[in-house]
Amino acid sequence: MAGCPLITTFGIVELVPDNCIQDFCVANLNSSISVNGFPCKPDAEVTSHDFFFDGFSKEGNTTNVFGSRVTPGNVLTFPGLNTLGISMNRVDFAPGGLNPPHSHPRASETGVVIQGKLLVGFITTGNVYHSKVLTAGQMFVVPKGLVHFQLNVGEGKAHAFTAFNSHLPGAAVLPLNLFASAPAIPNGVLTKAFQVEDDVINAIKSKFGS
Amino acid sequence: MAGCPLITTFGIVELVPDNCIQDFCVANLNSSISVNGFPCKPDAEVTSHDFFFDGFSKEGNTTNVFGSRVTPGNVLTFPGLNTLGISMNRVDFAPGGLNPPHSHPRASETGVVIQGKLLVGFITTGNVYHSKVLTAGQMFVVPKGLVHFQLNVGEGKAHAFTAFNSHLPGAAVLPLNLFASAPAIPNGVLTKAFQVEDDVINAIKSKFGS
Amino acid sequence: MAGCPLITTFGIVELVPDNCIQDFCVANLNSSISVNGFPCKPDAEVTSHDFFFDGFSKEGNTTNVFGSRVTPGNVLTFPGLNTLGISMNRVDFAPGGLNPPHSHPRASETGVVIQGKLLVGFITTGNVYHSKVLTAGQMFVVPKGLVHFQLNVGEGKAHAFTAFNSHLPGAAVLPLNLFASAPAIPNGVLTKAFQVEDDVINAIKSKFGS
Amino acid sequence: MAGCPLITTFGIVELVPDNCIQDFCVANLNSSISVNGFPCKPDAEVTSHDFFFDGFSKEGNTTNVFGSRVTPGNVLTFPGLNTLGISMNRVDFAPGGLNPPHSHPRASETGVVIQGKLLVGFITTGNVYHSKVLTAGQMFVVPKGLVHFQLNVGEGKAHAFTAFNSHLPGAAVLPLNLFASAPAIPNGVLTKAFQVEDDVINAIKSKFGS
Amino acid sequence: MAGCPLITTFGIVELVPDNCIQDFCVANLNSSISVNGFPCKPDAEVTSHDFFFDGFSKEGNTTNVFGSRVTPGNVLTFPGLNTLGISMNRVDFAPGGLNPPHSHPRASETGVVIQGKLLVGFITTGNVYHSKVLTAGQMFVVPKGLVHFQLNVGEGKAHAFTAFNSHLPGAAVLPLNLFASAPAIPNGVLTKAFQVEDDVINAIKSKFGS
Amino acid sequence: MAGCPLITTFGIVELVPDNCIQDFCVANLNSSISVNGFPCKPDAEVTSHDFFFDGFSKEGNTTNVFGSRVTPGNVLTFPGLNTLGISMNRVDFAPGGLNPPHSHPRASETGVVIQGKLLVGFITTGNVYHSKVLTAGQMFVVPKGLVHFQLNVGEGKAHAFTAFNSHLPGAAVLPLNLFASAPAIPNGVLTKAFQVEDDVINAIKSKFGS
């Protein structure tokens, strides 16, 4: 960027290049400087391609212990979302697949089922569980930061699109947070928290390779 | 609401009803009091049904001058979204249908094409036009407040789901804002703005019944 | 409130009563109207007592399965905090007591140990565990929405004061959210999430009276 | 308000009355309910008059100890500003008049001198004083919450328009806050703060009628 | 910047230079790094001049198709406004001059007429048009993101000062956005949107040199 | 940082290093680039030590004119707080010590007395003074931007912990802002503001070494 030209709000002879308008800030994921969010690509390098994303065309690979897969359309995969406060995910489910209990530290979530039959549930901070079985065209909401999950309760595959009011909502996936962190949470914390013996904790940890 | 019980963060003997936690505020659309957003339904009346919405299951009726239809999943139709800063729309297009140029005063937008072939475009405040033809599974973003549209350029019907970081993004639909307001914008403003004669303005207004 | 008098910013003859200034909005916890946050007490009823809170003088009762107790100084107990975006807790620990893994959906947290020796830990969304054993006068931070806990690893009692950038941060206490909700989360979700059999889930649920 | 009609984003046959759109929330200053900001006037009572304000046409009365007068165009005088996060003031100065040192707890400020010659100054939290003498057409900025003042250093009258990014920025006017509060701040606080004897504090208080 | 000295909140022997206080962040418009907003000038280079702006002293040149001129006092011309969430414009009008229909994607707007007679209008998302003819000393508000304009309906010149709650509100100027973008919006979009034939669209485009 | 790896929300084989998750942004206080807040430490250099702070273990030195000392636990001393919107201070008081009248431009404040007996007071923008004498375990709140102070009214030493909803709340310490700035505020401003003669102003200034 070679400095910002003076921009008057209108005036036909003064149409300026698309710099310094700050309508957007396409993420430069490889900047030498790290900030909250990402620095912007230089204006001269921004093109229309930066505002479109092709990652949702293919079904996600659900061959894993949970039988589900999140394909994120967030700032890390779709840099044009940087600073705009919004993102989407595609979530695919094998029959019986589970998007395990997790919370998003930085966003509320909505979603719409496109295919299949999903049990969608969340738990309030008052420990009330709200849930419903949804089919194609039905929408749900999960308030910011609450623990929630989706389970494929239909016969076949399922998928949904979800939306978040953050360019990078993050996810604290509870089984992994608690039993597969590096380094591991001491067993003494987990046995007291869940009122079980060491062997139960060790068994769960082993399932996640810890 | 008969007052808020004291809630300690945990303690098994103290599981409390789901009131006063303020994880959410399901809109009471019929309150006698009007605030920015909506007052909340009394806690005692909130049920799981408040967090799910069934309005996207059916194709919208596209029989109108634009050949498109927006079915909103915002706070007015899905009261559970109130104060959560997020909403979604289903947008249906007849062949050749247009979601006409508009801007959302209170939200950035993302969207994913589910069926068909859409030309998706937006214009920056620097008057640069960014666009792409998208097919199923492709995603777009429109930065907050910018003018944008979608046009069905495929052979058949099309539909998309869009998401917004507001529970009620609003839409300034430009043809209606400019040519179909009540009362009407004086012709003198529009002729000077678009550098045309009165007859052109009158002709456009007449198309929108004004 | 009988309407707002016109207030000029200064002028000695115009000192006005403390209404309509909106420096604060002391919560009316018993209002017939529910909003996001709470309606304000009428100005005429606000006194200096509304800005001070006496709830932290006594040690909390730690006789429960976790051996800890959170005494909240949030909007529900200290209504003067309403809309000000800040609150504090006192957390007491018996020897070996645990403030079990939880996340706050609406706040980052800091805390300072006043007495005793606490293992303080949190887990990132990338499943990295950060922890340290802290003694009196040491401070910690937990980024917004991340799972964290504190464990008394000293010989005697311990207590800390914590602070939050919300008047009601909420807490998703994971053992209770997952195993003690009402209604209960179906076992099928939990067995798949933690890769255990029904009997393990049932055993944990029974410990929490579910 | 008798409930919110369903609004589709466009569709010519569906032009709806101006309710439930929530583009604005004109303050109801006489509501029986008090919230942070103000409840909204019922939609049916909103008219174009709500978006215009006539209070700046007349010079303010500067006959007071400071020789200046702030005429506020904030939510209390111009209810249409409610929730929109912006307001303006007209400030008039007699020759030698001072808008005394004050800070706005809820806004940054800009201003432009319309008539006369003003010394405009602010002090950073690092105790650095920034100032300049401004004449008609010159603009200044005061960062949020910093102490600042304007002094008429010209021969005649002066006036300026200021703008704030809050509908009710508030003003802690330091001479009045410190020496004219009700009840009074104890002398022991003020003598220690300013390193003077009681008689100096009493003398200042007496000038402000305390 | 050579690192941040430790700053205690007060203590006379510790008056520090004006760095690291972050009361402000004067824009460095020529930084090699681009972020949302602008990086800050190094503290050592900040002077009082950074907080004052001289651009409003002269009448803007209104010799253009619209007969009006916006002189911006935003972060691009007045770098001291960076990150402070506020800016102002001077708007000049020739007799009959129009500030054409536009919306600000990132700000609400207020304004005060200084000279002349202006028709000020905006249109809600519900397509209701609110307007009034204003003279010197009268103030208006335009809610965030709504389409609005000002037309000089007096005999002579006119000018106003406007204020925005953003350091760079941006403006989607509708005639230019729709008919003068680069590249051009396809005629098929515009003919369908405005229900006119190609020749009308081409005629308008030609007026704006497209 | 060598670019951001693609992160899927979960999937055991894909546990990634702790980069690009943006749960936090530990301040790099020595960056060559200055932004609002601070750039982040490179991910590879972040360790658990970044989330803990040891500065509150020792009593602050209260040997100064005010007889008090603020030890800040903000982003400048505890870089892990950067961008998280929260910080704490330890405040120590000699007998009779005063934390002089000041306001925080960027935060509301709460605090809890740990030892001793403090008179805690604040003044509203309507010039109403709210105060109380607090002892150990009692909590107070000061709404954002209001002038406040604490005075040790007990026999011995006192100390408190305070919390702020900003990583760097700043403090406009009024005696220093008004009488010890560099350069000095002209006497003409201060004599008019406080309605005293030059000699009083000069005497106060001299106490603060100006």
C-chain residues within 8 Å CB-CB of F80? 141
CB spacing of A176 vs F42 below 8 angstroms: no
CB spacing of E70 vs A12 below 8 angstroms: no
Choose, out of E1, E8, E14, E16, the residue to mutate when testing the contact with F (most F CBs < 10 Å).
Answer: E8
How far is residue A173's CA from residue F9's CA, in Å, rounded to a whole number?
8
Neighbours, chain A (3 or more CB pairs < 8 A): B, C, E, F
pLDDT at C152: 98
Read off the tokens for C82.
Answer: 């309403």
Average pLDDT over residues E74-85: 97
CB spacing of D126 vs E163 below 8 angstroms: no
Read off the tokens for C47.
Answer: 């006194």
How far is residue F10's CA from residue A150's CA, in Å, rounded to a whole number?
14
CB spacing of B49 vs A125 below 8 angstroms: no
**pLDDT above 60 for B187:** yes
pLDDT at D44: 87
Place of tokens 């007395």: F113
Instruction: Give the whole-number percent of chain F exceeding pLDDT 90.
Output: 87
Residue E141 distance to chain F (closest CA, Å):
25
Element (H or E) spanning B207, and its range? helix B198-207
| B183 prior amide bond cis, ω within 30 | yes
Beta bridge partners of A1: none
Contact status, residue D147 vs residue D78, Cβ threshold 8 Å:
no
The answer to whether the annotation marks C202 as part of a ligand binding site is: no
At position F78, the amino acid (one-letter code) is F
How far is residue A197's CA from residue A190's CA, in Å, rounded to a whole number?
9
pLDDT, tens digit (0-9, with 9 covering 90-100), for D107-116: 999 999 999 9
Residue A10 distance to chain C (closest CA, Å):
37
pLDDT, tens digit (0-9, with 9 covering 90-100), for C108-157: 999 999 999 999 999 999 999 999 999 999 999 999 999 999 999 999 99
Reference A89, options A72, A65, A106; nearest CA is A72
pLDDT at B21: 84
- For chain F, which residues lie within 8 Å of any Cβ of chain E, measuring from their own Cβ? 29-37, 64-66, 69-72, 76-77, 89, 100, 102, 105, 168, 170-171, 173, 176, 180, 182, 208-209
Nearest to B127 among E98, E106, E177 (CB): E177
Reference B72, options A134, A82, A121, E125; nearest CA is E125
Read off the tokens for C188.
Answer: 């099928």
Contact status, residue A51 vs residue A23, Cβ threshold 8 Å:
no
Neighbours, chain D (3 or more CB pairs < 8 A): B, C, E, F
Instruction: Give the whole-number percent of chain F exceeding pLDDT 70.
Output: 91
**Which residues does chain A have with pLDDT short of 50?**
1-2, 6-17
Which phi and psi angles does A71 have, rounded to 5°?
-105, 110
A83 → chain B, closest CA residue: B143
How far is residue E4's CA from residue E73's CA, in Å, rounded to a whole number?
31
Q: B90: pLDDT confidence band, cut at 50, 70 and 90?
A: very high
D-chain residues within 8 Å CB-CB of F74? none
The radius of gyration of chain A's CA atoms, rounded to the nearest angstrom, is: 21
Read off the tokens for C175.
Answer: 């053992």
Rounded alpha-carbon distances, angstroms, from residue C126 to A71, B42, C104, C178, F22: 16, 38, 18, 21, 10
**pLDDT above 90 for C1:** no
Read off the tokens for E42.
Answer: 């190094």
How far is residue E21's CA from residue B170's CA, in Å, rounded to a whole number?
39
C-chain residues within 8 Å CB-CB of B13? 64
Residue C193 distance to chain D (closest CA, Å):
40
**Which residues does chain F have with pLDDT short of 70?**
1-19
Choose, out of E34, E69, E176, the residue to mutate when testing the contact with A (most A CBs < 10 Å).
Answer: E34
What is the DSSP code (8-state) at residue C33?
A: S
At position F113, the amino acid (one-letter code) is V
Of the listed ranges B132-146, D101-115, E17-31, the one predicted with least confidence: E17-31
How many Cβ atoms from other residues are within 10 Å of residue A209's Cβ? 11
Average pLDDT over residues C205-209: 92
E-chain residues within 8 Å CB-CB of D127? 15
F-chain residues within 8 Å CB-CB of E3? 29-30
Instruction: Give the whole-number percent of chain D exceeding pLDDT 70.
Output: 91
How far is residue B153's CA from residue B135's CA, in Å, rounded to a whole number?
10
Choose, out of D10, D13, D41, the residue to mutate when testing the contact with B (most B CBs < 10 Å).
Answer: D10
Place of tokens 């909506």: B38
The answer to whether the annotation marks A104 as part of a ligand binding site is: yes
- Alpha carbons within 13 angstroms on the beta-carbon side of residue A177 total 26
pLDDT at C4: 56
Place of tokens 């729309």: B89
How far is residue D88's CA from residue D167's CA, in Å, rounded to a whole number?
9
Rounded alpha-carbon distances, angstroms, from residue C34 to C38, D185, E89: 7, 37, 40
Choose, out of A99, A118, A123, A200, the residue to mutate when testing the contact with C (most C CBs < 10 Å).
Answer: A123
CB spacing of A147 vs C184 below 8 angstroms: no
Establish whether chain B is in contact with chain F, requiring a minimum of 3 CB pairs below 8 angstroms: no
How far is residue C129's CA from residue D128's CA, in Å, rounded to a whole number?
43
pLDDT, tens digit (0-9, with 9 covering 90-100), for A48-88: 999 999 999 999 999 999 999 999 999 999 999 999 999 99
Reference B60, options B16, B115, B103, B101; nearest CA is B115
CB spacing of D21 vs B173 below 8 angstroms: no
Apex D16 CA angle, D10 and D20, nearest 5: 100
Read off the tokens for B191.
Answer: 């002729």
pLDDT, tens digit (0-9, with 9 covering 90-100), for D47-82: 999 999 999 999 999 999 999 999 999 999 999 999
Nearest to E161 among D131, D138, D161 (CB): D161
A-chain residues within 8 Å CB-CB of B86? 107-110, 141, 163-165
pLDDT, tens digit (0-9, with 9 covering 90-100), for F183-207: 999 999 999 999 999 999 999 999 9
F-chain residues within 8 Å CB-CB of D175? 193-195
How far is residue D82's CA from residue A14's CA, in Å, rounded to a whole number?
36
How many Cβ atoms from other residues are within 10 Å of residue F191's Cβ? 17
Nearest to C35 among B4, B7, B39 (CB): B39
Predicted ipTM? 0.94
Residue D12 distance to chain C (closest CA, Å):
34
Binding site as annotated, residues of D: 89, 99, 102, 104, 109, 148
A-chain residues within 8 Å CB-CB of E36? 22, 25, 37, 40, 82-83
Q: D4: pLDDT confidence band, cut at 50, 70 and 90?
A: low
C-chain residues within 8 Å CB-CB of A145? 103-106, 145, 170, 172
D-chain residues within 8 Å CB-CB of F121? 185, 189
Contact status, residue B87 vs residue B72, Cβ threshold 8 Å:
yes
Residue D172 distance to chain F (closest CA, Å):
5
At position F60, the amino acid (one-letter code) is G
> What is this structure's pTM?
0.95
CB pairs under 8 A between A and B: 179
Contact status, residue A113 vs residue A137, Cβ threshold 8 Å:
yes
Q: Is B159 left (phi over 0), alpha (psi -120 to 50) or beta?
A: beta
pLDDT, tens digit (0-9, with 9 covering 90-100), for B197-207: 999 999 999 99
How far is residue C192's CA from residue C198's CA, in Å, rounded to a whole number?
10
Instruction: Give the whole-number percent of chain B exceeding pLDDT 70.
Output: 91
What is the DSSP code (8-state) at residue B34?
A: B
B-chain residues within 8 Å CB-CB of C34? 1, 25, 28, 39-43
Neighbours, chain E (3 or more CB pairs < 8 A): A, B, D, F
Nearest to F81 among C16, C55, C141 (CB): C141
